[in-house]
Amino acid sequence: MIILTGDRPTGRLHLGHYVGSLISRLDYQNSKDCELFIMIADLQALTDNSHNPQKIITSVHDVTLDYLSVGIDPNKTNICIQSQIPAIYELPMFFSNLVTISRLERNPTLKSEIKQKNFNESVPVGFFTYPISQAADILAFNSPIIPVGEDQLPVIEQTREIARSFNRTYNTALFVEPKGIVPKNEKSRRLIGIDGNSKMSKSLNNGIYLSDTKEKVTKKVMSMYTDPNHINISDPGKIEGNVVFYYLDVFSNDSHFDKYLPDYKNLDELKKHYQNGGLGDVKIKRFLINILEELLEPIREKRKYYEANPQIVKEILEKGTKEAVEISNQILVKAKKIIGLNYFN
Ligand code: TRP
């Protein structure tokens, strides 16, 4: 079974990406019955960055290093570049005849992104129709399940409609209606930023990046929002809304206590002490830094290797993309034949 996922290359990846999607990709990669494709969706990123292609091209490189350094294994997983896959340019030509403007206007993901990006009245047609292009990303691989962020579910729903409509219109069963899969754990689904205000995001400048140095990580954790009323160590502290405890919920396990904080058996004990008073913020922050460093240090090491070997990275992308071109082309040829556009064979 092929499983396709993708990212828009608009910046380096952070801990939110790690818990929200990269971990589950590693699971798929290591499960025997899946062939994982990760698509770097540079065409999609260009739909609202047409004047700044260099930013996208740089990010394609950065994101590839992020994948490889967290353990995406090029011998098992295909990393491919969207703009180099011809089927993804051709399929939307057919799909766009099956989608109405009003249906696109009602797509909740698109609606909220248009608002966020302040296009006002000037939404580029390419951006407006990206859900059709994304349907092509997915259907070109006939991937039955698509691991995505929660915010992407309406786009997957629209892809299902396009698959259904194509099959009905041309009396075929070519396309599989894909199912979107989001992480089970709610805190992992939308990891909050270090400011505690909202989701970790580049535009809010509240992220910890997979490529951040130890010094940066330390500084960011030390600046994390905790409980503003927890002034003296002896004061009782609040767990709710406390970013450090939120991250401990997501990242810590009992073995971390053994190693770094043996005075406590587990997170429940630590939380109780904090709530009762007598536990300072610096201590819990240092604990979190240890946990994050245990995760990030090997990632940094792997990154160094790939940074020093750009030729290897290029070959990985070429190989993954070639595989993607072949598979998607088979579906494209079938789709054209089903419509009747096979004039020469
Ligand atoms: N729209 C997705 C995002 O912003 C990225 C993406 C592009 C994607 N093509 C895809 C995700 C295909 C899954 C499958 O995160």
Q: DSSP per residue over 10-46, as a string? A: SS--BHHHIIIIIHHHHHHHHSTT-EEEEEE-HHHHH
Q: Go through the chain and tell me how many residues it has.
A: 345
| Mean pLDDT, the chain, whole residue set | 96
151 CA distance to ligand 1 middle (Å): 10
Calculate how far, in angstroms, residue 82's C-alpha sits from the geometric centre of ligand 1. Answer: 10
Q: Is the pLDDT of residue 199 over 90?
A: no
Helix then strand then coil, % of the chain, to nearest 5:
60, 10, 35
Q: Which of 95, 148, 155 to mutate to test the pocket of ligand 1 (most atoms within 8 A of CB)?
A: 148
From 2, 3, 4, 8, the mutation candidate for ligand 1 (largest count of ligand atoms within 8 A of CB) is: 8
Of ligand 1's listed atoms, the one at least distance from the Cα of 137 is 12
Burial of 334 (0-12, 13-18, 19+ CB in 10 A): middle
At residue 189, does pLDDT exceed 90? no
Please state the rounded mean pLDDT for residues 101-113: 96
CA angle 302, 304, 306 (to 5 degrees): 75
Provide the greatest CA pair distance for the chain: 82
Tokens of 308: 């020093």
Predicted confidence at residue 322, as pLDDT, reads: 98
User: Quick one: 344 exposed, middle or buried, by C-beta within 10 A (0-12, 13-18, 19+)?
Assistant: exposed
Q: What percent of the chain has pLDDT over 90?
A: 92
Q: Can you tell me which atom of ligand 1 is nearest the CA of 133?
A: 9
- Say if residues 236 and 226 touch (Cβ distance below 8 Å): no
Residue 23 tokens, joined: 């971990």
- Determine the pLDDT at residue 149: 86
Q: Take residue 163 and report the two structure tokens written for it.
A: 């698959």
Model confidence band, residue 253 (pLDDT cutoffs 50, 70, 90): very high
Q: Please write the tens of the pLDDT for every residue from 264-305.
A: 999 999 999 999 999 999 999 999 999 999 999 999 999 999
pLDDT band at residue 30 using 50, 70 and 90 as cut-offs: very high
The per-type count for the chain, helices as H runs and strands as E runs, is: 17, 5
* Predicted pLDDT of residue 187: 84
| Ligand 1 pocket residue status of 135, Cβ below 6 Å | no
Tell me the mean pLDDT in the region 136-153. 94
Written as one letter, the residue type at 145 is I
Percent of the chain with pLDDT over 70: 100
Q: What is the DSSP letter of 171?
A: T
Pocket lining: 78 vs ligand 1, CB cutoff 6 Å: no
Residue type, 341: L
What span, in angstroms and rounded, lies between the C-alpha atoms of 271 and 194?
Answer: 19
Alpha carbon distance 144, 141 (integer Å) = 9
Residue nearest to atom 12 of ligand 1 (CA): 6
Residue 167 has pLDDT above 90, yes or no: yes
- Confidence (pLDDT) at 201: 87
